[in-house]
A = this chain, B = another copy of it.
Amino acid sequence: MPQDPPFPPVEGRSTRQKRAVWAALASVDGFVSAKTLHHRLEERGDDVALATVYRFLQSQLEAGTVDSLLNPDDGEALYRICAAQTHHHHLVCRECGIATEFKVPEIDRLARTVAVNEGFSETVLTFDVFGICPACQSPSNHVD
């Protein structure tokens, strides 16, 4: 048992479960669902309750160390580590979850302008792009 977890993203007490979930999340390239994450943990032999996975993801979300978005197909929440605190959007493969972050300040500015003109406050933008990534387009490279 290493003395210090690789990255201590953990707020509050440091537990085996939190470290395990973080490690599993860190080992994935793209966005994953809580369920998928839970499966990976089982495969690794890490016993963590599904509820704990959800709780951890929720707290990290609030802490800003993970990002989440809703799969537009089924409304399922997807998560991934996302250190970049600054505002950005995602280009996400709906097959494998691989994601690219991008910023288009103009977009945000334009949207804010629209909102302000209408007198809206506390605005939140949801802006993500879903598609099929190059790897998933070629069956040979297809990753589930």
A130 an interface residue at 8 Å Cβ cutoff?
yes
Query: Which residue on chain B has the smallest CB distance to residue A100?
Result: B118
Interface size class, chain A: 20 to 34
CB pair B124–A129 under 8 Å, yes or no, is: yes
Known: A119-B134, A120-B133, A128-B126. A91 touches B107 (CB 8 A): no
**Does B129 lie within 8 Å of A111, measured CB to CB?**
yes
Contacts of A129 in B (CB 8 A): 111, 114-115, 120, 123-126
Counting every copy of the chain, the complex holds 2
A70: shortest Cβ distance to chain B, in Å? Answer: 5
Chain B contacts of A124 at CB under 8 A?
72, 129-131
B111 with A133: CB separation less than 8 A: no
Smallest CB separation, A120 vs chain B (Å): 4
Interface residues of A (CB under 8 A from B): 70, 72, 75-77, 91, 93, 100, 102, 104, 106-107, 110-111, 114-115, 118-134, 137
